[in-house]
Amino acid sequence: MPKDHGIGASSKRREDVRFLTGKGNYTADITLYGQTYAAFARSNVAHAKIKSIDTSAAEAMPGVLAVFTGADFADVGGNPAGWLIQSRNGETMKEPKRPVLAHGEVCHVGDAYAAVIAETVAQARNAVEALVVDFEELPAVVDMADAVADNSKRARTELTDNICFDWGWIEDNRAAVDAAFASAPHVTTLELVNNRLVPNAMEPRASIGVYDASTEDYKLYTTSQNPHLTRLLVAAFVMGIPEHKLNVIAPDVGGGFGSKIYHYGEEALVLAAAKRIGRPVKWVADRTESFLSDAHGRDHVTKIQLACEKDGTFLAVRTETLANVGAYLSNFSTATPTFLHGTLMAGPYKTPLVYVNVKAVFTNTAPVDAYRGAGRPEATYSLERVIDMAARELNLDPWEVRRKNLITTDMFPYTTPVALQYDTGNYQATLDKLIELSDKAGFEARAAESAKRGKMRGLGLSTWIEACGIAPSALVGALGARVGLFDAATVRVNPTGNISVMVGAHSHGQGHETVFAQVVSSMLGIPEANIDIVHGDTAKIPFGMGSYGSRSLAVCGTAMTKAVDKIIAKGKKIAAHMLEASEGDIEFADGKFSVAGTDKAKTFGEIAFSAYVPHNYPLETLEPGLEETAFYDPANFTYPAGAYSCEVEVDPDTGKVEIMAFTCADDFGNVMNPMIVNGQVHGGVAQGIGQALLENTSYDGNGQLVTASYMDYAMPRADDLPNYTVDHSCNTPCTHNPLGVKGCGEAGAIGSPPAVVNAVIDALARAGKPVKHIDMPLSPARVWAAMNA
Amino acid sequence: MYAFEIERPSTIGDAASALGHDGAQALGGGQTLIPTLKQRLAAPEKLISLTAIPEMQGVCIGDAGEVCIGGATTHATVARETAKSYPALSGLASHIGDPAVRNRGTIGGSLANNDPSACYPAAALGSGATIVTNTRKIAADDYFQGMFTTALEPGEIITEVRFPVPQKANYQKFVQPASRFALVGVFVAKYADGVRVAVTGASEDGVFRWDAAEAALSRDFSAAAIEGLTASATNLISDLHGTPAYRAHLIKVLTKRAVMAAA
């Protein structure tokens, strides 16, 4: 009998009531008294010197209240990269300034160089068109290989070359890895592209700036995954606003997938404009602006090599990657291709030697940063593709090659050659579960049936691992992070016993309001309906580092449980006084404080009431009230892992790939809400299938974004996707957080792309069309070209 | 979007005279024009909506048995009302865009725009349809004059499209993955006097007839009849979604499939 409430129950998502009935409160839904509107002038060329901007005509247009250019922000700070990366030669990465508005030069198509504030959106846009800008076009750097090879064209005029950093992980391992390759019985080499993606959150970015001259308080409503981080960046780094004078509110947010982690210049602009004109200033991106100016994802070009024995035993892995960071360093852009990518290159395997080299490359394209999975999909894709290729070259079963090399349960905790320590897992169990659920045994019969219909059927898999709960401050600090990555929660018990929980995690679709309440409900034995989860407002929540890297429950959820523990501990003291027992004899279970071995008890509600109406209360030793805050900084990452398979049919006439089945066997540790976890996996796999088959971000040689609308950028739609089989029964609870949770938000997007591509390559091979590799997206045209090459 | 005025005349005559003014632009279902306006890529002073003219609405059977469709008839209506009279046309209409598009977009709007990847041009050319305007009748073979180019004069309104009903017909569309317009679409129609094969999505010149396939299929209406043919890749579209060689290959694949589905 499945649970119907609390931890482990598939409680329905309470937030969906407002989302599905049109009652959500998104930034664009907010209208403030006296509100004005901002529109941005964006570069239509990839790279140019701004010789002049004549704003006079625009300023004279109807309804125009102010015009800003880069000169207005010349004296404020730049939007910084969150991680400082050291190159192999010991030099610190290059970090050219990322201004609020482009000043002196525009560096990608869509780069904002001016903004108009007007009474209406149309008036603001009309005035933007009346701006007269004189660009002197500069050569555009678009292709990464060219950018590295040719220093004469540079993405930023202040640079001497286009390489941001040249990072080795771990540099001390390099010689041993090279030696292993030199003597290896077999080496497989694969060059691949991890295709650039546009995040395409359903809600475009939007911001409203407010300034109160009487108190000098600023308020920013914005589409953010982490309002406190935005506050820190806007206040301390960019605008020089005292942090206590800036309230950042991220109300309902319609998807982020990483793209709303970061601070963008538009947020600073609306605040500065609100102060100048003394009225709220609102900006809502249109879809074209989203394509041109949201931080994109992925965009790696990688050469990966696997050295192994003839029996498939892995000896060493070596990679060389060019990672596009675009024209400006977005906040996580330097961490994503390094510490979220290189550290995962051991995968779930006991490969003894691994060396990763990543060159981050500036180009005249939009910034590239973390996108659902962030570095881990890139690592997983490279590794799972090269393993499949090696198995084919050695005439071995790719399933058994993986099994042979998986870390075994007796090896935990397992320290990888790329510096992570996996605390627990059971990779054989998820592989076995996958074999069962995917009906691998029945595949040949299904393939024969497909062949009768003239279709080529293939089966591919990936066995993946990721590092989630992005945190340990000491660790990330040692790796170059400029912030800590703990989290925080406050549990406020009201006098009548219901509860508000203020959490630092931010929900932009995940379902925190439901799941976090389930956890508190189970811990305190009170109904979920009596618990509200409050998030997304720096004035309401104690602190927080937001949601990304599948960290919400593992990090913030743990802070919340620690705060609940403090509530229980204080409740015991109150109960001991009321029940005239010693504190050590008080037990708490099912919402009751009782004296052990007796029937004397007080309910949670009675204790709460007593805390706020302390007539019979130990005031001399205990403060009244029942509210506790906890901060939590984990000891380690968490390590979700799993095994995915994809079964496809390929049409030999057209190259079209149809996904017939997709099966996921995941180990997320303990599962708080199975329905929501399934939903997270479904969404992640949808995005992974989108990357594998459909999504392709293409800049032409001049740096124009060719795929700047849905007419050319193919998003996955319902009929592109199969029914999924999702299982998370093979769970090994995380060893270092009390809930035993690992995180599930990104898994689907990490494990799925290689499974899809491996399946297509398998289908072609079985049909006698041996194709070594096809770069994503595996569009019909690409598959057809590959099999007819 | 820039500010504009809009008129909704209720007769073809009023619409024609409204369109006679400078800065006037005809508006059908708006499935191309409205997104263009929203992107500020066009700035007409006045839109003349053609959707409130009763005589341009609906489907009927003409004296010669042809299917006659009012120029402002939506794709959804065409799909529904030609299901029995012209199933291939109904099938084509029922797979244009999505339900929202099909309930706004009109056959006249599609043919007047003549997007090189639109479906209706293949049906019109493949059926040897007659494009009826407020001033004349134009044979489909004379109507389509290249990508986004037609025989229409400025201000001329498509009031009706007349489709001779073939013995057998079928439309095969292979969609461009993003837009789901036709990457290549092939309309095959077998008439008593021969077979017509019209190809959309593929050519830099817009919809065209594949003469060699028509000749072969007119002799022998079977997939085998075109096995030995190769569609020329010359002047076919090259973009992110397909090379000319791929499109040429698809023309043949889809023609065969259309013949098999029609036969």
d(CA A431, CA A630): 38
Q: How far is CA B204 from the centre of its chain?
A: 16
Quick one: CA dihedral B2, B5, B10, B16, positive or negative? negative
Mean pLDDT of A576-595: 96
Quick one: CA dihedral A664, A668, A669, A673, positive or negative? negative
Flag whether pLDDT at A474 surpasses 90. Answer: no
Say if A122 is an interface residue toward chain B (CB within 8 Å).
yes
For the domain made up of B54-163, the CATH class stated in words is alpha beta
Residues of A in contact with B3 (CB under 8 A): 122
Q: Cβ A707–B178 below 8 Å, yes or no?
A: yes
Least CB–CB distance from A654: residue in B1, B174, B240: B174
Are residues A45 and A109 in contact, defined by beta-carbon separation less than 8 angstroms?
Answer: yes
Residues of A in contact with B241 (CB under 8 A): 712, 779, 781
Q: What is the pLDDT of residues A378-432, one digit of tens each?
A: 999 999 999 999 999 999 999 999 999 999 999 999 999 999 999 999 999 999 9
Say if A700 is an interface residue toward chain B (CB within 8 Å).
no
Residue A423, classed as helix, strand or coil, is: coil
For the domain made up of B168-262, the CATH class stated in words is alpha beta
Per the DSSP assignment, residues forming a β-bridge with A359 are A166, A322
Backbone angles phi, psi at A740, to 5 degrees: 70, 25
Would you state the pLDDT for residue A484?
85
Helix-then-strand count for chain A, H and E:
19, 28
d(CA B64, CA B56): 19
- Tokens read off for B156: 């001329």
Q: What is the pLDDT of residues A633-661, one digit of tens each?
A: 999 999 999 999 999 999 999 999 999 99
Mean pLDDT of A282-291: 97
- For A437, A677, A763, B58, B85, the CA distances from A722, given in Å and listed in that order, are 15, 18, 17, 38, 35
According to DSSP, the β-strands at A456-465 and B194-200 are: unpaired
Would you state the pLDDT for residue B78?
98
What residue spans of A360-503 are helical by DSSP H? 376-393, 398-405, 427-437, 443-452, 473-478
Q: What is the pLDDT of residues A323-380, one digit of tens each?
A: 999 999 999 999 999 999 999 999 999 999 999 999 999 999 999 999 999 999 999 9
Q: Percent of chain A, pLDDT > 70?
A: 100
Angle of helix A780-787 relative to helix A747-766, nearest 10 degrees, comes to 40
Least CB–CB distance from A781: residue in B178, B246, B253: B246
Residues of B in contact with A711 (CB under 8 A): 178-179, 181
Residues of B with CB under 8 A from a CB of A: 1-3, 39-40, 174, 177-179, 181, 183, 240-243, 246, 249-250, 253
Angle of helix A558-579 relative to helix A512-524, nearest 10 degrees, comes to 30
Q: What is the pLDDT of residues B170-180, one digit of tens each?
A: 999 999 999 99
Q: Percent of chain A, pLDDT > 90?
A: 96
Q: Cβ B242–A781 below 8 Å, yes or no?
A: yes
Mean pLDDT of A657-683: 97
Q: Cβ A653–B40 below 8 Å, yes or no?
A: no
Per the DSSP assignment, residues forming a β-bridge with A106 are A48
Flag whether pLDDT at A2 surpasses 90. Answer: no
Are residues A438 and A501 in contact, defined by beta-carbon separation less than 8 angstroms?
Answer: no
- Residue of B2, B249, B252 for testing the chain A interface, max A β-carbons within 10 Å: B249
Residue carrying structure tokens 């750097």: A141
Q: Give A123's contacts (C-beta < 8 A, 6+ positions apart).
A: A37, A61, A62, A63, A64
d(CA A61, CA A118): 9
Are residues A478 and A552 in contact, defined by beta-carbon separation less than 8 angstroms?
Answer: no
Of the pLDDT bands very low, low, confident and very high (cuts 50, 70, 90), residue A476 is confident
Say if A63 is an interface residue toward chain B (CB within 8 Å).
no
Say if A654 is an interface residue toward chain B (CB within 8 Å).
yes
What residue ranges define each of the domains in chain A, with the CATH number in brackets?
Answer: 31-138+202-255+260-293 (3.90.1170.50), 141-194+295-396 (3.30.365.10), 423-468+636-789 (3.30.365.10), 486-632 (3.30.365.10)
d(CA A715, CA A232): 34
Residue A288, classed as helix, strand or coil, is: helix
CB crowding A632-652: b at 16 or more within 10 Å, else e: bbbebbbbbbbbbbbbbbbbb
Would you state the pLDDT for residue A1?
58
Q: What is the pLDDT of residues A747-786, one digit of tens each?
A: 999 999 999 999 999 999 999 999 999 999 999 999 999 9
Are residues A52 and A103 in contact, defined by beta-carbon separation less than 8 angstroms?
Answer: no
CB crowding A460-491: b at 16 or more within 10 Å, else e: bbbbbbbbbbbbbeebbeebbbebbbbbbbbb
Q: How far is A551 from chain B (nearest CA, A)?
A: 33
CB crowding B90-124: b at 16 or more within 10 Å, else e: bbbbbbbbeeeebebbbbbbbbbbbbbbbbbbbbb
Q: How far is CA B220 from the centre of its chain?
A: 27
Backbone angles phi, psi at B193, to 5 degrees: -100, 10
Mean pLDDT of A166-193: 97
Backbone angles phi, psi at A543, to 5 degrees: -170, 170
d(CA B77, CA B258): 23
Chain B residue with CA closest to A784: the answer is: B246
d(CA A429, CA A435): 10
Residue B191, classed as helix, strand or coil, is: strand
Residue carrying structure tokens 């008439």: B191
d(CA A666, CA A744): 9
Residue A581, classed as helix, strand or coil, is: coil
**Type and span of the H or E element at A422:** strand A421-422
Residues of B in contact with A781 (CB under 8 A): 241-243, 246
Backbone angles phi, psi at A765, to 5 degrees: -65, -45
Q: Cβ B178–A288 below 8 Å, yes or no?
A: no
- For A2, A576, A625, A628, B128, the CA distances from A612, given in Å and listed in that order, are 37, 16, 5, 14, 85
- Is B144 exposed, middle or buried, given 0-12, 13-18 or 19+ CB atoms closer than 10 A? buried
According to DSSP, the β-strands at A724-727 and A657-667 are: parallel
* In chain B, domain spans: 5-49, 54-163, 168-262
Quick one: CA dihedral A125, A126, A130, A134, positive or negative? positive
Are residues A506 and A253 in contact, defined by beta-carbon separation less than 8 angstroms?
Answer: yes
pLDDT: is A469 or B85 the higher one? B85
Q: Cβ A779–B39 below 8 Å, yes or no?
A: no
Are residues A46 and A131 in contact, defined by beta-carbon separation less than 8 angstroms?
Answer: no
Are residues A128 and A40 in contact, defined by beta-carbon separation less than 8 angstroms?
Answer: yes
Whether CATH 3.90.1170.50 fits B5-49: no
Q: What is the pLDDT of residues A496-554, one digit of tens each?
A: 999 999 999 999 999 999 999 999 999 999 999 999 999 999 999 999 999 998 999 99
Q: How far is CA B139 from the centre of its chain?
A: 13
CB crowding A297-317: b at 16 or more within 10 Å, else e: bbbbbbbbbbbbeeebbbbbb
Kindly write down the DSSP assignment for every residue of B128-174, as one continuous string. T-EEEESS-EEEHHHHB-STT-BSPPTT--EEEEEEPPPSEEEEEEE
Q: How far is B175 from chain A (nearest CA, A)?
A: 10
- Tokens read off for A195: 């295709």
- Tokens read off for B162: 């007349």
